[in-house]
């Protein structure tokens, strides 16, 4: 009998952690004689493409739907963030570092750790189980950790992330984590050449709280001035998304990775954000110093 294929896949608007974790976890599952195939949904961002090129990943499977498939979800666990077709798929396992919003009628394996990246959870498990981590897998996991933790500047960073990253760097042959990480982040940290739609959808997530749906996009920049120039454009497009998806509000979080803070552009009901941060929003935007992480510094305050 043909062995069942298990697709390992992350969230929509894939980021480096979602894609690299899917690849690494597939290799780990394959060692356990599971017919695992890594995949992604949507479009790769330039940072992820850079990481894949650097560690020579070719022909990664792009799935348009997971309908009828068995899947391992990495780097997310809320169906609203999953690839299309999730309601008609069979989720067999989840590995994630986000708040838990998953429910299932069947018992499943669920590995959750409050680390700065899913890659940290996977790498820690590989080290524990003495799985032989190749240079390629180490490099991908390292990129994922540096990406999600914004080179350890994000408020989500834990001691485990730093410890695991250092161990992976040795295997991957990376000597200076900071320089390597900033180089990686810079691939995506620019708005130039991107349409407002691309800016918003490069990392856009939907959330639900007390019957209200809202969306938050995040993009990293090395200079917020860039964003100010594109503000009108972004507001218009964000307004269209809010309307199309029936959201109560939409946010673009422009995170300055040098200055370490985020400019929020908000369209729709601004009250939840005004209340959460005790601020007055003027002209659809506000700068919040120290805000680096959507899931730690923004989403919990809105829930
Ligand atoms: Mg992610
Ligand atoms: Mg992640
Ligand atoms: Mg992320």
pLDDT (tens digit, 9 = 90+) per residue, 216-230?
Answer: 999 999 889 888 889
CA of 223 to the centre of ligand 1 (A): 23
Residue where one domain finishes, among candidates 132, 157, 186: 186
State the ligand closest to the CA atom of 119: 2
Residue given tokens 């994000």 in the structure block: 154
Residues 230 and 157 both lie in one domain: no
Q: Which of helix, strand or coil describes residue 79?
A: helix
Query: Residue 168: is its pLDDT beyond 70?
Result: yes
Looking at residue 303, its pLDDT comes to: 85
Helix or strand holding residue 226 (H, E): helix 225-229
Cα 171 to Cα 147: distance, rounded to the nearest angstrom: 18
CA of 65 to the centre of ligand 3 (A): 22
CA of 287 to the centre of ligand 1 (A): 23
> What average pLDDT does the segment 179-192 reach?
88
CA of 96 to the centre of ligand 2 (A): 7
Looking at residue 228, its pLDDT comes to: 86
Residues 182 and 201 both lie in one domain: no
| CATH for 174 | 3.90.1640.10
User: In the chain, pLDDT over 90 holds for what percent of residues?
Assistant: 84
pLDDT (tens digit, 9 = 90+) per residue, 112-135?
Answer: 999 999 999 999 999 999 999 999
Residues 168 and 274 both lie in one domain: no
Residues 19 and 137 both lie in one domain: yes
Domain that holds residue 132: 6-186
**What is the side-by-side order of every strand in the sheet holding 285-289?**
204-209, 212-221, 249-256, 261-268, 285-289
Looking at residue 194, its pLDDT comes to: 87
Strand partners, 209: 212
CA of 74 to the centre of ligand 1 (A): 9
Residue 66 sits at the vertex; the CA angle it makes with 62 and 68, to the nearest 5 degrees, is 140
Q: What is the 3-state secondary structure (H, E, C) of 169-189?
A: HHHHCCCCHHHHHHHHHHCCC
pLDDT (tens digit, 9 = 90+) per residue, 270-302?
Answer: 999 999 999 999 999 999 999 999 989 999 998
For residue 170, which phi and psi values (nearest 5 degrees)? -60, -45
Residue 156 sits at the vertex; the CA angle it makes with 46 and 124, to the nearest 5 degrees, is 85
Residues 34 and 143 both lie in one domain: yes
Average pLDDT of the chain? 94
Residue where one domain finishes, among candidates 186, 215, 248: 186
241: burial class by Cβ within 10 Å (0-12, 13-18, 19+)? buried
pLDDT (tens digit, 9 = 90+) per residue, 132-167?
Answer: 999 999 999 999 999 999 999 998 999 999 999 999
CA of 225 to the centre of ligand 3 (A): 23
Number of structural domains (the chain) is: 2
CA of 4 to the centre of ligand 3 (A): 30
Looking at residue 109, its pLDDT comes to: 96
CA of 76 to the centre of ligand 3 (A): 10
Looking at residue 1, its pLDDT comes to: 57
CA of 82 to the centre of ligand 2 (A): 13
State the ligand closest to the CA atom of 116: 2
């Amino acid at each position: 009998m043909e062995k069942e294929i298990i697709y390992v896949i992350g969230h929509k608007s894939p980021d480096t952690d979602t894609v690299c974790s899917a690849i690494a976890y597939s290799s780990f599952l394959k060692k356990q004689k599971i017919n695992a195939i890594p995949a992604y949904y949507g479009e790769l961002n330039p940072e992820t493409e850079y990481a894949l090129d650097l560690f020579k990943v070719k022909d990664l499977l792009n799935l348009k739907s997971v309908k009828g498939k068995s899947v391992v979800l990495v780097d997310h666990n809320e169906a609203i963030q999953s690839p299309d077709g999730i309601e008609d798929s069979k989720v067999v396992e989840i590995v994630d570092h986000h708040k838990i919003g998953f429910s299932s009628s069947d018992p499943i394996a669920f590995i959750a750790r409050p680390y700065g990246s899913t890659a940290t959870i996977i790498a820690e498990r590989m080290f524990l189980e003495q799985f032989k981590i190749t240079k390629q897998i180490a490099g991908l996991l390292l990129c994922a950790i540096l990406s999600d933790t914004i080179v350890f500047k994000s408020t989500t960073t834990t001691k485990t992330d730093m410890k695991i990253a250092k161990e992976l760097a040795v295997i991957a042959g990376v000597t200076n984590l900071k320089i390597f990480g900033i180089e990686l982040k810079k691939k995506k940290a620019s708005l130039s050449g991107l349409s407002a739609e691309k800016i918003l959808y490069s990392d856009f997530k939907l959330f639900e709280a007390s019957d209200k749906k809202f969306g938050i996009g995040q993009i990293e920049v090395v200079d917020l001035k860039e964003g100010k120039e594109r503000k009108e454009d972004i507001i218009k497009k964000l307004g269209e998304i809010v309307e199309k998806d029936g959201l109560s509000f939409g946010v673009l979080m422009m995170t300055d990775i040098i200055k370490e803070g985020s400019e929020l552009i908000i369209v729709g009901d601004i009250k939840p954000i005004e209340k959460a941060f005790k601020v007055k929003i003027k002209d659809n935007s506000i700068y919040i110093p120290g805000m680096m992480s959507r899931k730690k510094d923004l989403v919990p305050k809105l829930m």
